[in-house]
Amino acid sequence: MNATTTENQIAKVITSAELLEHWQGHRRLTRRVIDAFPEKELFEYSIGGMRPFAAMVQELLAIGVPGLREITGGKTEALNEHLDVKSKAELLELWDTASEDINTYWTQIPEQQFHDRIVTFGQYEGTVISSILYFIDNEIHHRGEGYVYLRSLGVEPPPFWAR
């Protein structure tokens, strides 16, 4: 290993593999939050006119894999948030499949591509990295909303640090 290679490796703020693991850690926590909801309340409970948590999760499903598919395939995708999911088991199954698909598509993004400019879902302009961070942040944001729903229902949510 020469000096330049060493410098390449230590001067990375975060590697692609680390960012994927960071996202998957969040996805494991989000899965626990979905699972913590009682069946009925997952689909019906809301506060202040907001959507039930199951609807928020369907938004997350509409963004994660389709977004990565756009980044890797280049074709514009529709933002389809209405998956007509009817049970917690079905939602968890879709969640798990999406987590595996994210691993698959991730391997198709070389590190050189993270600063490429893209437009996701036909309207959101940014770079690959800004888009992926948006996907992750949006998941954390809605999951935080889900924590309040759970507390309001008297259900203890999983600890935030559990990944």
Is there binding between residue 93 and its own copies (CB under 8 A)? no
DSSP letters for 10-70? HT-SS-HHHHHHHHHHHHHHHHHHHHHS-HHHHHH--STTPPPHHHHHHHHHHHHHHHHHH
Please count the residues of this chain forming the interface with its own copies, following the rule CB under 8 A.
Answer: 44
Is there binding between residue 48 and its own copies (CB under 8 A)? yes
Is there binding between residue 8 and its own copies (CB under 8 A)? yes
Give the residue with the Cβ less far from its own copies, 10 or 84: 10
Is there binding between residue 137 and its own copies (CB under 8 A)? yes
Amino acid at position 69, single letter? R
3-state per-residue secondary structure call for 59-125: HHHHHHHHHHHHHHHCCCCCCCCCCCCCCHHHHHHHHHHHHHHHHHHHCCCCHHHCCCEEEECCCEE
Provide, rounded to whole angstroms, the least separation between the CB of residue 162 and its own copies: 13
Is there binding between residue 54 and its own copies (CB under 8 A)? no
Is there binding between residue 107 and its own copies (CB under 8 A)? no
Q: Helix crossing, 16-36 with 88-106: angle to 10°?
A: 180
Provide, rounded to whole angstroms, the least separation between the CB of residue 46 and its own copies: 9
Provide, rounded to whole angstroms, the least separation between the CB of residue 32 and its own copies: 14
Give the residue with the Cβ less far from its own copies, 66 or 146: 146
- The rounded distance, in Å, linking the Cα atoms of 75 and 72 is 9
Q: Which residues bind its own copies (CB under 8 A)?
A: 4, 7-8, 10-16, 18-19, 22, 26, 47-50, 111-112, 114-115, 129-130, 133-134, 137-138, 140-145, 147-154, 160-161
